[in-house]
Amino acid sequence: MPHINTGDFKKGIKVIVENEPYEMLEVNFVKPGKGQALYRTRLRNLLKGTLLDRTYKSGDGLEGADVHRADAQYLYRDSQGYVFMDNESFEQHTVAGEILGDGADFLLDNMVCELLYWNGQVIGVTPPAQVIMEVTYTEPAARGNTATNVTKPATVTSGATIQVPSFINVGDKVKIDTAEARYIERIRD
């Protein structure tokens, strides 16, 4: 990968620090009264999610990371993990549950997700921001309970449990924010 000089640092670029891929979240240029210009950066580790603050002098640089994104279709789950098929190369990748995290709770067959690759290996999966699922189980609403913002647990098609308003019943379709595992709205057919 190419060498990236400090003058080319900007938010969103992917670099290698200590043999791991990082994404630049912030870059601040500082010119003290005396001496060299400095670049203060905040980086996020793409493997672990940890944050790192580093300062680089003008003229320094970092190696660019071979990180790219591609759409893939979720096929099924087996004993090794979750199997996705790249939509361009049709290559199948098995992704461990730890990499998926809570996003695995909202996967449905044939759902298109975004895979993050580093050196040809999948290091992250991003499900769609919102999904529509059917409620498979929830307790009936308590009669006379009309207070605002009353919620109850509900199980959806994928097996995940979310909090929904008390008026939601079994068979209703709901829109869910996958990043926060949060109910957004009921979908009417």
Which distant-in-sequence residues (6+ apart) come within 8 Å of 124 by Cβ? Answer: 46, 99, 115, 116
Set out the domains of the chain in order of their start, with CATH numbers: 3-64 (2.30.30.30), 67-126 (2.40.50.140), 130-187 (2.40.50.140)
Q: Which phi-psi region, left, alpha or beta, contains residue 18 (left: φ > 0; alpha: ψ -120 to 50)?
A: left
| pLDDT tens readout for residues 1-44 | 678 888 889 998 999 999 999 989 999 998 888 888 899 999 99
| pLDDT tens readout for residues 105-117 | 889 889 999 999 9
Confidence label for 67 from pLDDT (cuts 50, 70 and 90) = confident
| pLDDT tens readout for residues 121-158 | 888 888 999 999 999 999 887 666 556 678 889 999 98
Element (H, E) at 20: strand 20-30
Is residue 84 predicted with pLDDT exceeding 90?
Answer: yes
The confidence score (pLDDT) of residue 47 equals: 85
Per 3-state DSSP, what percentage of the chain is helix, strand, and coil (rounded to 5)?
Answer: 5, 55, 40
Number of H helices, E strands in the chain: 1, 16
Label residue 53 exposed, middle or buried (CB < 10 Å: 0-12, 13-18, 19+).
exposed
